[in-house]
């Protein structure tokens, strides 16, 4: 049975409506709908996370697995404990403390933030430094808590969303969470769909990539473009090689909401069926409609399959006082709203101003490489010489580059689709984990050797996206190392054209970056 409620801001002629007007819903009902919709939408999209294709999922083919933890929800549970402990004093330093204390590992931007925080780099620099995933979805999916706790005060919702996102994101990655927090905050108090999305868009600067993308999506909707055609245009125009890119996925989310006519399951399926970060888009659409419809407006057959007990990662379960059930999550969210909302300052919080790098940022991952061009020297003979002497020949020292960035720029050496051969020595100091995760990526085809032994040969020609679990533009693999080990690294890059980036990095099985392995010559 599908329960239907009227959503404000959706023209009545676009859908059938029954039951109570949205404005009659109380805050508990909306919060309950938000968290239930979040869980349902995420579970529906989970099997298709990261797919490059369109899944064509139907109501009949949905497979709900609720035993898989999802960072769309569980990190927000940690923020609930932070709000309980610190209240409105939950500032950038407090967020850093929560990460250091409770989040031991993660992927992509989470991994970068953890590395930066471990080295004393605090937000907002932690979200910018060496972050290839600064525009990822990792913060956008954490917006609901701020919208709910600060319902009626969008300035506060946006302020705490900014603090949250700035730990592990920058620029559009922060604007994404601000957009969703503002739109959802408006939805909590008005029950309106389209005006809420437009309110969220109004909080963005016109010159950011997210704003330009959302403007194009809204224009397609105003022009009356049919849903399927609009989805195809959006996917073709804003497709991104990083499947977690928040701009691409927010375009999918807004498409699903704008053309979904306020219907829960069709809207969630629309988001999931555009592919890419499908669990996050499904979860965000589900949460947004849960706010508008309330729990009682969600499909009864899906609610019957929803466990009240949350499936959480072990590190989240260990956090003292973290909610273990949906019921506890709703109760705690509402309690914090009732406690903190009256304490908010009368003066609105300031708008987000992205961090501007000034050159004072630290270099955490210094490495040195000898860059050789086979057209100018015999690289086979050079490799033999390096392995024998263990040092760079004096005649080639002017070809050594030093970089303090995770991805190093080789554009000055890339010309006429040439081949580049890079050499360095891998040095192990201390006892590394066993095994070590190795990630080698570049914007062009690459081949990697350690002491003459080939490690990987990858030629997908995807842009470099360094990660330990999904290394687009290269490969991630395991290798065993021991303390004191030193090996010659040879990295061949083919058909080089600017701009050109490459990366070789090392991590533990939990995707944490290692300090024990350095690259020196």
Which residues are 423's β-sheet partners? 370, 490
What pLDDT is stored for residue 21 in this prediction?
A: 36
Pick 365-518's CATH classification: 1.10.238, 3.20.20, 2.60.40, 2.60.120.
Answer: 2.60.120
Read off the pLDDT band of 468 (50, 70, 90).
Answer: very high
Phi and psi at 502, nearest 5°, equal -145, 165
Residue 21 and residue 288 in contact, taking contact as beta carbons nearer than 8 Å: no
Residue range(s) of every CATH 2.60.120 domain in the chain: 365-518
On the question of pLDDT at 2 being above 90, the answer is no
Query: Whole-angstrom Cα distance, residue 96 to residue 113?
Result: 9
Which residues are 489's β-sheet partners? 424, 450
What pLDDT is stored for residue 291 in this prediction?
A: 98
Percent of the chain whose pLDDT exceeds 90: 92
Is 206 marked within a binding site? Answer: no
Is 277 marked within a binding site? Answer: yes
What mean pLDDT comes out for the span 61-74? 81
On the question of pLDDT at 25 being above 60, the answer is yes
Read off the pLDDT band of 471 (50, 70, 90).
Answer: confident
Taking all residues of the chain, what is their mean pLDDT, rounded to a whole number? Answer: 94
Read off the pLDDT band of 422 (50, 70, 90).
Answer: very high
Spell out a b/e string for 344-371, using b for 16 or more CB atoms within 10 Å of the CB, else e: beeeebeebebbeeeeeeeebbebbbbb
Q: Read off the tokens for 475.
A: 């490969």
Q: Which CATH architecture has domain 25-339?
A: Orthogonal Bundle (1.10)
Which residues are 309's β-sheet partners? 325
Q: Is 108 left (phi over 0), alpha (psi -120 to 50) or beta?
A: left
Read off the pLDDT band of 317 (50, 70, 90).
Answer: very high
Read off the pLDDT band of 3 (50, 70, 90).
Answer: very low
Residue range(s) of every CATH 1.10.4080.10 domain in the chain: 25-339
Report the candidate in 299, 225, 228, 227 with the shortest Cα–Cα distance to residue 263: 299
């Amino acid at each position: 049975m599908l329960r239907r409620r009227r959503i404000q801001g959706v023209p009545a002629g676009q859908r059938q409506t029954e039951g109570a007007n949205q404005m009659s819903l109380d805050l508990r009902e909306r919060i309950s709908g938000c968290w239930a919709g979040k869980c349902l939408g995420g579970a529906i999209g989970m099997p298709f996370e990261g797919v490059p294709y369109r899944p064509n999922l139907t109501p009949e083919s949905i497979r709900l697995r609720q035993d898989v933890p999802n960072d769309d929800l569980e990190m927000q549970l940690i923020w609930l404990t932070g709000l309980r402990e610190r209240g409105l004093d939950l500032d950038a330093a407090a967020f850093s403390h929560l990460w250091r204390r409770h989040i031991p590992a993660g992927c992509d931007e989470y991994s970068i933030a953890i590395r930066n925080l471990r080295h004393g780099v605090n937000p907002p620099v932690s979200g910018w430094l060496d972050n290839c995933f600064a525009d990822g979805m990792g913060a956008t999916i954490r917006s609901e808590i701020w919208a709910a706790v600060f319902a009626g005060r969008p300035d506060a919702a946006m302020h705490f969303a900014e603090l949250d996102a700035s730990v592990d994101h920058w620029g559009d990655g922060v604007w994404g969470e601000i957009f969703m927090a503002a739109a959802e905050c408006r939805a909590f108090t008005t029950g309106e769909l389209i005006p809420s999305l437009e309110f969220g868009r109004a909080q963005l600067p016109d010159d950011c990539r997210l704003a330009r993308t959302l403007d194009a999506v809204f224009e397609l909707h105003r022009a009356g473009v049919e849903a399927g055609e609009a989805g195809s245009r959006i996917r073709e125009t804003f497709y991104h090689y990083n499947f977690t890119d928040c701009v691409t996925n927010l375009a999918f989310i807004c498409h699903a909401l704008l053309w979904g006519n306020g219907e829960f399951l069709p809207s969630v399926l629309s988001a999931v069926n555009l592919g890419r970060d499908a669990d996050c888009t499904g979860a965000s659409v589900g949460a947004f409609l849960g706010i508008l419809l309330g729990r009682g407006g969600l499909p009864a057959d899906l609610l019957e399959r929803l466990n009240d007990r949350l499936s959480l990662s072990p590190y989240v379960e260990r956090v003292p006082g973290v909610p273990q059930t949906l019921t506890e999550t709703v109760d705690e969210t509402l309690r914090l709203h009732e406690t903190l909302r009256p304490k908010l300052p009368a003066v609105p919080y300031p708008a987000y101003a992205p961090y501007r790098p000034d050159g004072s940022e630290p270099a955490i991952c210094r490495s040195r490489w000898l860059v050789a061009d086979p057209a100018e020297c015999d690289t086979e003979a050079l490799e033999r010489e390096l392995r024998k002497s263990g040092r760079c020949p004096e005649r080639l020292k002017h070809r050594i580059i030093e970089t303090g960035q995770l991805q190093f720029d080789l554009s000055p050496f890339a010309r006429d689709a040439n081949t580049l051969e890079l050499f360095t020595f891998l040095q192990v100091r201390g006892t590394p984990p066993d095994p070590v995760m190795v990630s080698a990526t570049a914007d062009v085809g690459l081949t990697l050797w350690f002491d003459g032994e080939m490690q990987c040969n990858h030629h997908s020609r995807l842009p470099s996206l360094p990660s330990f679990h999904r290394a687009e533009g290269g490969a991630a693999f395991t290798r065993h190392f021991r303390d004191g080990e030193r090996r010659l690294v040879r990295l061949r890059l083919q058909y080089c054209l600017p701009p050109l980036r490459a990366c070789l990095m090392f991590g533990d099985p939990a995707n944490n970056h290692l300090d024990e392995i350095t690259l020196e010559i």
